[in-house]
Structure 1
């Protein structure tokens, strides 16, 4: 009996019951868990957590966070260089299906209303003429884009994808805090949260019949495709670039949906069509899902200062040849000021009240509303009317009227008297709370819910079952205090009926087989090429440092290298710009040289790795999570210099192995490998010219073999010791040595022969001619005739080859738009 009792104390169900009892003993009844504490679903969820972590809830949090990081989920704070891990709570928000159906109906109604309002305000403007919407609310908004007036969006809709932030009141009612229409963010985070939670609580999905996300994303993809004119359209996701706060989410969405991830420089408008610049010429883009501020989308039609948009894209829209989601100008209805008018507009346009009400809002551009706000300032929140910070709210954030000190209140009232249209007053919203893990215990925190809707192939709205919750940092349940929150949580819609497993991919026996990997933009090819070059450059410099450390500095290696050989190593490091010329060759001097070459600010191994990391950051949709993780790994700090160099070498070897064994042999891989081979060939020539001279010593030749990673091959082949001609033949001309110069040139030539050509006349393009010429020169050379002049000639030809590859395949301003023989497809 004693044993059984002891076991029951630590049974998962018992632990879950105790957690619920302890939690609800200290939480208001408005909490989502405590309001439904008798529901078996919450007990089942906490049982899964207990089975995962026992009594240690912190373990569950760490595991959920680790899975989120493994997936690659991250975000960036504005003005920060490095991404932060996406903060994921191990406790998802559970919503019963009947309750969710009410939320979804409200979102569908709201999306339809917003579309109708946009159709009118960018069309006949009857709502303004009839007095339902003040003209100043439209014409005075920074989000009203006049060039889009009377432009019918291709596909017939202004909105293809919308998001809304909801709040749940203490009594369980749901309201809308904000709409997101310009470039709605977060759907990728909802997807990544679900993937991470499925790995953390794998049995929960089937146990609770949780609705899946894949049908929603499939419907969105099909809806965009259906709006296009071509039967098999090309769809691109336009990103502002890697410094955008949600770039990681955008890359994940592009990969998941099969969209082409592009930046403005990848695209070009030509003859009323939009094209992406690829290694095979221009390829037509039929739909663009953008994540830019729409005002930056076209510098010709909108903001002329934009450097991240696409000149002429609005003309392509006007010609009906490009579906843009969402259409520029949709952000007009995002403004908090418009929330004051949506309840009335719902009655006017649909004859029904909003199923999901707004929080009460008063636009101060109207006299009566301004008077009401000023009279009730202590019980309201004051916020910018159009999202732009007015003088009275210099940080641009909503402020509790009761929390304003005398100077801040005076400044607000003064500016509101001058420009009342810049302000809205809103009710102070009190939020429900939900459990999260803090201090190793379940802790109640306020939350908001972001939900998403998209048009399907029939034009009807489909709502993502769930979304993601934002969880506040403090117990204060007022929405204005919570802000954007510090944690996120998966949102699980559960029901009594089993959920059919659905994947975004069609069934294998119905799919049309495809081995063509798709379009490769020139910018992506450029990035992968330079990623290969930087990785190889870092490894070559590391090789110099390791030889220097292992043979001249380390205390337990026996005899040091000859001074002339050490001088050659030092000269190569200095020529690479990795360290300044040392004062001498004493041990302290060489140690400092090695440390600077490893960790210095300019052209060091660390600096080169940072360059590679920045390229990896913009290539997430092309690289595996393991490769991204290795690129993002911090510079080694433990151990001595030789230990850190060894750690770096293992990292380079792992990256090389991932590229060699895990990247599909596509054109993307070819550019990455060309970059590696080209850099390795240039480094090899530097090593051979330094240590393969006619007067080379045994130390020189041994060092050359070390740097070329050919020491074992040489010893297996030659048993008579070091000889210059055999060493040169092995590292320069041997076509079977994967480190030899000739091997690199042959590999580059082979890759170039398989890349797309711009003509079908069978003649070699300039980059192919360069590679074949270098290969032929090495084939007709023997090791005895190798001299410095020939090696210098090969090096110059390799640099010319690099330029020829860049001119042919990479972006060169607008030049590719007019290239002869360009393919348009």
Structure 2
């Protein structure tokens, strides 16, 4: 007890010193340094928790938080980049008292209701434009105003189900709105992941400060979408543009957490004004979509006819009331800076009350008086595109400070303002509060913007997430225009005097209908898992050949080299796989060069282990909602660079073994796992047949057969059975026909037949489907073969049938394009 008290005392001293050092030179306007007594106590608790976990090292605190974020799998992508970056998380959360938060939440709810009222009018009777309360150009000038939505009453009666508001805190503590996010608000998943990472880093903070939880908010979001659907147990999908989207990792995390299907446009089909998802069991009804795609690309028949990622007929299904789309296409018209200029007056007119969270002052230049004011006060204003798209004088599409324009840019801007004033707005220059962040092991003040989320609940009201997340600027400059998108994020904790119940998104176990079926498996997800298994097995098999070549032919520590004829077969096998060019000769340096290319080539078009792993990594990236985070981390791990070739090969082999162990021991025996294992088994069977053809010919020597046993991981099994040396017939029997050898052909075929028997079929007449018939034929061939009779012709036929089997599985389960619309017998449920 004494040591615990001493630890707390030390942590308190460290926290006090950190705060004193930080606030000593700090001017007012910082959320920590200007906090009152109760709020200062919350900040002290945060720093004390940090000190308890990381001692006197702020660097260690930052590293701990970042490690937790990476363990959760949080990531994001910069536009134009193919690789994800780790999510940059600050170890210091933003603390806001429950009393202050109540006012923010009420202002967000008022704003969301106001937006719903305005959208209902703009896409309905149009009275606001007709009576001059909103200029027509502010509506029709927006690229997010979608004319096909006019007159369409959304299912459930609401255009909006989920909104986000970007808030800034002024130096004196007032909160104002910088921007509204209505099209496809991003960040709720990041807020959830930030909370998980900080909770793991500072486990005692939740109870010490009575921090409000996020789980009830997400429960309300799920229930609100379900309530808008027409079926009692609706199927809800999260519609993603795909893995190259900047926030795909967040989308996958949200889909898994909420129990939504993660789908792309190609997964969906609209038939007779209903929406279906292509699954391994046929077409299944989808009742709602939480979309994260550009609304203009949703339906090529309604909006952009060139869209390749939309669903033809989706808007007809929505108009018929058969699918809820959150948020409804066209909601983004209210996001434009131009619209913000009219929002205060609209709030007073439509609600009888002013905005509780005021906008930053905005002047739309489409009005002569406002345009003249912007020109006159250009030096003290921010000039921005009126509709969020690039303009002639602002080609990057970003706001500029009038005071920082050089003469040429100022002249160009004034000229375009005169030519097309409706394309611009002027805004006041906003100064932001700062918060503490860790930079180079020290506390530094940086400006921040808070993103708050609201979701419609089952009763149709708005629930506000208690906290959201903060984006922190990279520079000390507190002007909002300079901060940009921010370079760090922080959790936002709402604390108060009342204890917070330990609420989980999961319902009580005794109130939930039991189910052991893990749910719908979209065809695309099955396809990805199947090919992930094939690529992992293919990479491991290729690595095995490289290791045999290295270990037996060129390693000084491996004893005698293989016979020249065996080396020639290994070289031919690598060349036939396209892994490396055949060497001119078989000298050590030439074989090393070939092995290095086969294992590590990233250029030249060679199908190396590195190239195969890159394909597996891509499939892992699009399967985040169905794979464990440990598996994703292994797939994302960089190619090893330390040690010699054999060391790097060993590192890769251990990685493959870990991936195989995770899939075998940690994946639930769902249809998703079955497809992943099918891919592994089919690829392994193909590779075993190819190795038999190469190394088990009638004239095979001892080195050939030993290499076969090495590649089939069967050396130990063979030597346990046969003590008199290697012979062809027993080696072939063990590798090809023994059903008890988990690396042999017969074992793979038996597992394949079992998987196909468990997968769904499209008819109930008991007649085997094509993939089942082919698998049964292969099994019969293997079961009735004698080892002495296995020759090159038989192996060639088996290999061809295995490829036929893979193609039959793809045709049956991995439905593409319009095929499921023509195929007979598909289930519509």
Q: TM-score range by the shorter chain?
A: over 0.9
Contact 1:183 1:326 in 2 (8 A): yes
Q: CA deviation at 1:80?
A: 0.3
**From 730, 739, 763, the counterpart of 2:767:** 763
Q: State the partner residue of 1:286.
A: 287
Q: State the partner residue of 1:817.
A: 821
Question: In the TM superposition, what whole-angstrom CA distance separates every residue of 1:163-220 from its partner, at most 9, and x where no partner exists?
Answer: 0100000000000000000000000000000000000000001110000000000001
Distance 1:89 1:533 in 2: 39
Q: State the partner residue of 1:71.
A: 72
Q: State the partner residue of 2:550.
A: 549
Q: CA deviation at 1:441?
A: 1.3
Distance 2:422 2:258 in 1: 41
Q: State the partner residue of 1:144.
A: 145
Please list, as runs of the form range in 1=range in 2, the aligned pairs for 1:254-333 lying within 5 A after superposition.
254-333=255-334
**From 786, 789, 798, the counterpart of 1:794:** 798
Unaligned 5+ residue runs, structure 2?
none
Contact 2:270 2:312 in 1 (8 A): yes
Distance 1:735 1:813 in 2: 39
Q: CA deviation at 1:416?
A: 1.3
Question: In the TM superposition, what whole-angstrom CA distance separates every residue of 1:559-590 from its partner, at most 9, and x where no partner exists?
Answer: 10000000010010000000001010000000
**From 588, 601, 604, the counterpart of 2:608:** 604
Q: State the partner residue of 1:234.
A: 235
Distance 2:188 2:120 in 1: 25
Distance 1:746 1:409 in 2: 75
**From 653, 661, 669, the counterpart of 2:665:** 661
Distance 1:633 1:449 in 2: 33
Q: CA deviation at 1:37?
A: 5.9
Q: CA deviation at 1:9?
A: 12
**Measured at CA, do residues 815 and 789 of structure 1 come closer, stay the same or move farther in structure 2, by a change above 3 Å?**
same
Q: CA deviation at 1:10?
A: 7.7
Distance 2:24 2:443 in 1: 12
Q: State the partner residue of 2:705.
A: 701
Question: In the TM superposition, what whole-angstrom CA distance separates every residue of 1:410-467 from its partner, at most 9, and x where no partner exists?
Answer: 1111111111111110000000000111121111100000000000000000000000
Distance 1:542 1:451 in 2: 49
Q: State the partner residue of 1:684.
A: 688
Q: State the partner residue of 2:440.
A: 439
Q: CA deviation at 1:699?
A: 0.5
Distance 1:311 1:47 in 2: 56
TM-score (norm. length: structure 2):
0.98
- Tell which deviates more after alignment, 154-163 or 810-819: 810-819
Matched residues, number? 822
Distance 1:424 1:811 in 2: 48
Please list, as runs of the form range in 1=range in 2, the aligned pairs for 1:571-590 lying within 5 A after superposition.
571-590=572-591
Distance 2:415 2:780 in 1: 80
Contact 2:8 2:52 in 1 (8 A): no
Q: CA deviation at 1:812?
A: 2.6
**Measured at CA, do residues 207 and 335 of structure 1 come closer, stay the same or move farther in structure 2, by a change above 3 Å?**
same
Q: State the partner residue of 1:627.
A: 631
Distance 1:480 1:804 in 2: 57
Q: State the partner residue of 1:490.
A: 491
Question: In the TM superposition, what whole-angstrom CA distance separates every residue of 1:340-363 from its partner, at most 9, and x where no partner exists?
Answer: 000000011001000000000000
The SS at the match of 1:35 is: coil
Distance 2:23 2:678 in 1: 62
Q: State the partner residue of 1:641.
A: 645
RMSD: 1.2
Q: CA deviation at 1:818?
A: 2.1
Question: In the TM superposition, what whole-angstrom CA distance separates every residue of 1:124-149 from its partner, at most 9, and x where no partner exists?
Answer: 01001111000111122111100000
**From 740, 747, 757, the counterpart of 2:744:** 740
Q: State the partner residue of 2:538.
A: 537
Contact 1:20 1:37 in 2 (8 A): no
Q: State the partner residue of 1:400.
A: 401
Distance 1:43 1:642 in 2: 53
Contact 2:141 2:387 in 1 (8 A): no
Distance 1:164 1:736 in 2: 61
Q: CA deviation at 1:22?
A: 0.8
Large movers: runs of 4+ above 2 Å: 6-10
Q: CA deviation at 1:532?
A: 0.4
Distance 2:780 2:545 in 1: 30
Please list, as runs of the form range in 1=range in 2, the aligned pairs for 1:101-120 lying within 5 A after superposition.
101-120=102-121
Distance 2:818 2:588 in 1: 53
Q: CA deviation at 1:533?
A: 0.4
TM-score (norm. length: structure 1):
0.99
Q: State the partner residue of 1:20.
A: 19
Distance 1:576 1:440 in 2: 50
Unaligned 5+ residue runs, structure 1?
none
Q: State the partner residue of 1:247.
A: 248
Distance 2:777 2:567 in 1: 35
